[in-house]
Amino acid sequence: MSLPFVPKLSQISSGKAVSKQLKKKATEFLACTRATTTLGEILEYYKECLARKAPITPCLLTLEYLFTQLFQRADIRPEDIDAQPTYVPSAKDPQANHRQWLLAQYQETCGLVIDGMHHEKESEACQALATAMKLLAAQCLQQPEADRFPVAGLKQILTAMLSSECLNKHLFSRFLEYSSYLDVIFYCWKTVPSLVPRNCTPTDAFKQNFLLLLDAIMFGKDKMKERDSELCVKLGDSFDYAYVRKQINRTWGFVMNWEHSEMVHEQLLILLLEKVFVHLDKPVLLTDFLMDSLDVGGTVSVLALQGVFVLIQQHNLTYPNIYEKLYSMFEPEIFHTKFKARLFYLADIFLSSSHLPEGLVAAFVKRLARLALIAPPQDIVIILRFVGNLILRHPALKRLIFHPTGGEASSDPYVMEERDPMKSKALESSLWELAALQNHVLPSVASAARFISNPLPSVEWDLSEVLEINENDIFHKEIVSKTKEFFVNIDRPTGMFGYCGGQMASQYWKLF
């Protein structure tokens, strides 16, 4: 009985029947590996599924089981893969010929499985990746030495994931399951620099995929303590961090020389801040890149600001105009970026010193207060807490609360358009914006703005409690709050659908 091909698919009632028949064929082949037509039928059926973009998971699982068994039985030996990668028949040794034939079938299968990683259905592509990685692990079942890791096969898998046409987030998400192993991390970094194109400019899709790969194989130093975390080979104490760090710095040098779109730029900065910084030999060399990124605006500027802060804090970088840059970032657009909480957090750190000039801090206070008039409710609460903390750190700024000549909305001396905070005339103004917010429609916002009318607390507000607040939190808080005063009807209603007062009032009681 032959395996069903495309014209005979109508004879199979379900996918379970296909899986059952594939498994039967695999069992027949393992019982007699010289029945070469059986394996050929399985591979031909897999090729047909690839060509028709049909589900390939049953074939993948069958091939994975079949070749894993062949490695366990030593019908295919890892040393043969390195010694003779092509099938060259010989009349002198039929047994050697058969081993070479099995090896050729395995190599063809690996290529077909990697082709399956380009399947248009993400679940099928992820299964192809899982099968490819498990076949790599199967190669090391007999000789799990460190120098027997199948680097060539790993490079083929990584190359397939680094597509120049489409973004493969689903593949890298699945690859995280294997990139947690120390040996995979080590040999990935041994391979990654060779994957960077030298003679052409990579596409944005390739750049994003490459950064996703770096994100997947990045590790913390605590990871090296996990001695039992290997997929194929036992590294033991042979994990050469100095070599891996050299590879990271070399690869990052290539990445920094690319031209970055805004999306790639943002992805690169996130990876740099969260995982790469700790491995760089000379982080100060990033100064020019981060300074240029500060001028881009939006999310990129916020992330670059965090990078500058790391250089200032940990590497003694001096940047005289950092407060002017920070001041210019507080624009209405910042409320619509996903990293606005990070900006407030960093600004709170930069303005934490009590030795800053009062004129500088006053400019930040006024700019924040002015932005609070147009900010979403959840951001108004953050601004009010931030402004209150700045006044607590600089008690002389209390005069801004009720400045005698500070003016009002129509005659405010503060110059919002001035880019230099020291020239904005903030000290001559008053916080009439916060007084206006005391009449906000939301009770939580109005209550938060009343701090300027009450005695200031002795300790600062905890800004972290409100940094992640959103509109849903505010809505829920208002819903569950208990109201002390209730509005009642002027006229007692006679029924649910009856008239309650005049005809004008009765229309609001109609449900349909």
Q: 74: domain CATH number?
A: 1.25.40
- Looking at the fold, whether 61 and 75 belong to one and the same domain comes out as yes
For residue 189, give its domain range. 147-268
Q: What are the structure tokens assigned to 75, written together?
A: 């019908």
Residues 6+ apart with CB under 8 A from 27: none
| Three-state DSSP class for residue 399 | helix
Q: Does a structural domain hold residue 79?
A: yes
- Looking at the fold, whether 120 and 160 belong to one and the same domain comes out as no
Q: Does a structural domain hold residue 428?
A: no
Q: Does a structural domain hold residue 319?
A: no
Residues 6+ apart with CB under 8 A from 89: 97, 100, 101
Q: Looking at residue 494, what is its pLDDT?
A: 63
Backbone conformation region of residue 23, classed left if phi is above 0, alpha if psi is from -120 to 50, else beta: alpha
Asked whether the beta carbons of 184 and 192 are under 8 A apart, the reply is no
332 burial class (0-12, 13-18, 19+ CB within 10 angstroms)? exposed
Q: Looking at residue 138, what is its pLDDT?
A: 87
- Looking at the fold, whether 141 and 151 belong to one and the same domain comes out as no
End-to-end CA distance of the chain: 68
Structural domain ending residue among the three candidates 208, 237, 268: 268
- Looking at the fold, whether 126 and 206 belong to one and the same domain comes out as no
Q: In one letter, which amino acid is 219?
A: F
State the Cα–Cα distance between residues 122 and 175, nearest whole angstrom.
Answer: 13
Residues 6+ apart with CB under 8 A from 161: 117, 129, 168, 171, 172, 175, 209, 213
Structural domain ending residue among the three candidates 113, 145, 177: 145
H helix or E strand, kind and range, residue 379: helix 377-393
State the Cα–Cα distance between residues 278 and 223, nearest whole angstrom.
Answer: 13
Length of the chain in terms of residues written: 512
| Three-state DSSP class for residue 79 | helix
Q: Does a structural domain hold residue 506?
A: no
Helix boundaries (H) for 3-121: 15-31, 36-52, 57-72, 78-83, 94-115
Q: Looking at residue 191, what is its pLDDT?
A: 94
Q: Looking at residue 20, what is its pLDDT?
A: 86
Q: Looking at residue 266, what is its pLDDT?
A: 93
- Looking at the fold, whether 91 and 111 belong to one and the same domain comes out as yes
State the Cα–Cα distance between residues 15 and 59, nearest whole angstrom.
Answer: 11
- Looking at the fold, whether 139 and 179 belong to one and the same domain comes out as no
Q: Looking at residue 488, what is its pLDDT?
A: 60
Structural domain ending residue among the three candidates 145, 180, 203: 145
- Looking at the fold, whether 163 and 264 belong to one and the same domain comes out as yes
- Looking at the fold, whether 124 and 161 belong to one and the same domain comes out as no
Q: Does a structural domain hold residue 76?
A: yes
Count Cβ atoms below 10 Å from residue 246 Cβ, excluding itself: 15
Q: Does a structural domain hold residue 466?
A: no
- Looking at the fold, whether 93 and 159 belong to one and the same domain comes out as no
Residues 6+ apart with CB under 8 A from 375: 332, 335, 383
Q: Does a structural domain hold residue 491?
A: no
The domain tally of the chain equals 2
Q: Which residue has tokens 């001559």?
A: 428
Identify the CA nearest to 17 among candidates 4, 28, 27, 29.
4
- Looking at the fold, whether 111 and 21 belong to one and the same domain comes out as yes
pLDDT in tens, the chain (512 residues): 444 443 443 344 456 788 888 888 888 888 887 777 888 888 999 999 999 889 999 999 999 999 999 888 888 876 666 555 454 555 566 777 888 888 889 999 999 999 999 999 999 999 999 999 999 988 876 655 545 788 889 999 999 999 999 999 999 999 999 998 888 999 999 999 999 988 888 999 999 999 999 999 998 877 777 766 778 777 766 778 899 999 999 999 999 989 999 999 999 999 999 999 999 999 989 988 998 898 888 889 999 999 999 898 888 887 778 899 899 999 988 888 888 888 999 999 999 888 889 999 999 999 999 999 999 988 999 999 999 999 999 998 988 887 666 566 677 888 999 999 999 998 988 898 998 999 988 888 898 899 988 888 888 888 888 887 777 777 777 777 665 555 565 666 666 555 555 554 555 445 44
Q: Does a structural domain hold residue 114?
A: yes
- Looking at the fold, whether 118 and 229 belong to one and the same domain comes out as no
Asked whether the beta carbons of 252 and 280 are under 8 A apart, the reply is yes
- Looking at the fold, whether 210 and 240 belong to one and the same domain comes out as yes
Half-sphere exposure of 412 (CA within 13 A, CB side): 21
Looking at the whole model, is its pTM more than 0.85? no
